[in-house]
Amino acid sequence: MNMEKKCSFCGLPIELGTGKMFVRSDGTIYFFCSSKCENNFALGRVSRKIEWIRKKVKRVKKKPRSRKKTE
């Protein structure tokens, strides 16, 4: 069971065994990759307006993914 979670604030994937899950009393579930994302979410900030998130997402998208050949 390999379920990849995404950060509810910055939208980046969270590695298994890391991050934090927050559940509100109404049943809404939030996942955070770092305390920085969690604190910004709690302060009500909008992720698309924060510069460090744009840079982080751009860097992750540029990273080449290694593909294994199956022959």
H or E element, residue 22: strand 20-23
Closest by CA to 29, choosing from 41, 15, 44, 12, is 41
**What's the whole-model pTM score?**
0.66
Residue 42 lies in a domain: yes
Place of tokens 């559940």: 23
46 in Cβ contact with 18 (< 8 Å): no
DSSP state of 6: E
Residue 12 lies in a domain: yes
pLDDT (0 to 100) of residue 22: 92
CB-hemisphere CA count at 13 Å for 71?
2
Q: What is the CATH number of the domain that holds 9?
A: 2.30.170.20
Residue 68 lies in a domain: no
pLDDT of 24-66, one tens digit each?
999 999 999 889 889 988 888 887 777 777 777 777 766 665 5
